[in-house]
Amino acid sequence: MLSAEEPTTTIGTTHNIATSLTPTAPGPKLTRPQKCYLCHTLIANSKSICSQCRAVVYCSRDCQISDWKSGGPRIENGRPVYFTPHKVICPKLKQWMEREKENVLLREYFPWLKGTGGGGQPFPLVETLRESGVEVEGTGREKGYWNVTAHVCSHELSFRQLVEKKRRELLEDGRDGGEAEKIVEKEVGVYQPGLMLLGEQFPGDEAWGLEEGLFPHLPDSDGIKAVPNPLDGTLIASWQQYYEWRNIPPRSIAVMLLHMPLTIYRMVTKFPHLLADTSEPLNIHLLGPERELDIVPLFAELLFLLPHHNINITMIGPTAFKLRQSLREMETAKPALLTKYPLFTYTHPTTPSRKINIHIDTTTEFYQNHPTFTNPSPSTHPSIVCALNAGLSTYPTWPEILTHCLTQQIPFACTEYCEQSVEYYYGRVIIPVLNEHNQKARGRRMGLDDVRTEFNAFRQPGAKGNEFTRCPDHVDGFLTWFWSGP
């Protein structure tokens, strides 16, 4: 039986406290306050940083020494929570920080990434959009694909976090913290995924908000917009390779949206049998879509990345389900995109027999209630089940879905923000699910070697930001996949 070992045995050998606390390790310059790794005090400029892992900062040398020796307890939500001493987890943090070398290569390729750094600091997306000529004030369908507010984008900082931040500010000023939510709504608006689907039609290239040549056109049948060169037998494996194939210059920030369809592409390429079988459509079940609902036409890029397939994408999840209620509350007699089936269709301009269809399932809030889940059969199985920024250890429904994919031999892939989350859900979710599968399975037994994880080549380049560590933390940052088939 697989087991999740205690951190003291999985981390490896520790190093000497004297070298870790060397005074030649000044704290990094912070572009936003981070939290002391021990006491969680917000600090504008760190006083100390571990010179070995360079992943955590402290408000004082006293906190650093205390954390090295004994870790917690720390008070969270009014209760003491005990943490592993830093001397135990330091080697693992150092290993995770090695990923930053790959981010350096991205910063060398994309000029707008230079100077943004990493180390737990969030990429200034809104400011970069403004510098690229994209108007970002407000929120809604008129924002096109960049449906962001003036201060926040999806997956960067949630509305609840903004409210909590404003509440603290009000209390510090001696004002009523209960007004925080109304103030935030007035100041920055509320991000609502899928607003575009409540309109009557999808926008054209104007939804990019970028100048000509800085985004990938969808070619049309009249030949005005050129079809990309065929990718017969070639797999795109990096952002640079993709940009060069699509003739997009590195100064383009289109990558900040394209990470979603390109990550789905990366997931599909992890399963060679999916690429080899072109006799049947590639049926993709995309679970828990949020930001994806605002860029539906961009998934047509998959038709050129996977040149020999017909593609069907079905998006299923609570956000799509709730959009149906929003549509009912709208006082309009005009048909909305959300009511169309399929929601979006794009036909290959030079090969009319090939097309991509995108569906939004608004009848099922949770995948466990979807007909292909409740009444599984090989004829109705999806080709792959996938999720972006899935939160496997956060949502209690995932173990049942993973078990279903293992039992029915359906390929599964998902992404997470950071490597810490990956390691956490391996122990809390993956191992228990594999053990249960192996006890009941009639076919191939699954081990940890059958579950793979990589630093996603098509992650969103700018860092998401992390208050507690300086380790790489990205939207669609780490890709995990498995298949229990032969």
The structure tokens 């929570």 sit at 81
Residue 28 lies in a domain: yes
> What DSSP state is assigned to residue 24?
T
Q: Calculate mean pLDDT across residues 192-201.
A: 80
Higher-pLDDT residue of 270 and 7 is 270
Res. 169 pLDDT band, cuts 50 70 90: confident
Residues 425-430: contacts with CB within 8 Å, 24+ apart?
A: 425/392, 425/393, 426/4, 426/451, 427/4, 428/4, 428/393, 429/392, 429/393, 429/398, 429/399, 429/402, 430/392, 430/402
Listed residues 37, 63, 98: the one ending a domain: 98
Residue 83 lies in a domain: yes
Tell me the backbone φ, ψ of residue 428, rounded to 5 degrees: -90, -25
Clarify whether residues 151 and 253 are in a common domain: no
Task: Note down the domain range covering 24.
Answer: 7-98
Res. 81 pLDDT band, cuts 50 70 90: low
Listed residues 60, 76, 98: the one ending a domain: 98
Res. 23 pLDDT band, cuts 50 70 90: very low
Clarify whether residues 179 and 310 are in a common domain: no
Residue 204 lies in a domain: no
| DSSP bridge partners of 453 | 480
Clarify whether residues 344 and 231 are in a common domain: yes
Q: How many structural domains comprise the chain? A: 3
The structure tokens 């797999």 sit at 235
Clarify whether residues 91 and 107 are in a common domain: no
Strands ordered across the beta sheet of 412-418:
344-347, 355-361, 311-316, 282-287, 384-387, 412-418, 473-482, 452-455
- Whole-number Å distance between alpha carbons of 66 and 45: 19
Clarify whether residues 121 and 92 are in a common domain: no
Res. 190 pLDDT band, cuts 50 70 90: low
Q: Which of left, alpha, beta for 120 (phi over 0: left; psi -120 to 50: alpha)?
A: left
Higher-pLDDT residue of 154 and 183 is 183
pLDDT above 50 for 152: no
Clarify whether residues 62 and 126 are in a common domain: no
pLDDT above 50 for 201: yes
Q: Calculate mean pLDDT across residues 216-244.
A: 85
Task: State residue 8's pLDDT score.
Answer: 26
Clarify whether residues 146 and 232 are in a common domain: no
Clarify whether residues 217 and 243 are in a common domain: yes
Q: pTM (2 decimals)?
A: 0.84
> Hey, which of 108-117, 213-222, 317-326, 431-440 has the most confident mean pLDDT?
431-440
CB 458 within 8 A of CB 259: yes
Task: State residue 173's pLDDT score.
Answer: 82
Q: How many CB atoms lie within 10 A of CB 273?
A: 11
Residue 282 lies in a domain: yes
Task: State residue 17's pLDDT score.
Answer: 27
Residue 62 lies in a domain: yes
Clarify whether residues 145 and 291 are in a common domain: no
Residue 269 lies in a domain: yes
Residue 201 lies in a domain: no
> What DSSP state is assigned to residue 429?
I
Clarify whether residues 329 and 396 are in a common domain: yes
Clarify whether residues 168 and 123 are in a common domain: yes
Q: Calculate mean pLDDT across residues 248-263.
A: 95
- Whole-number Å distance between alpha carbons of 110 and 250: 5
Task: State residue 54's pLDDT score.
Answer: 87
Higher-pLDDT residue of 337 and 188 is 337
Listed residues 71, 98, 125: the one ending a domain: 98
| One-letter identity of residue 440 | K
Task: State residue 392's pLDDT score.
Answer: 93
Residue 403 lies in a domain: yes
Clarify whether residues 48 and 106 are in a common domain: no
CB 267 within 8 A of CB 259: no
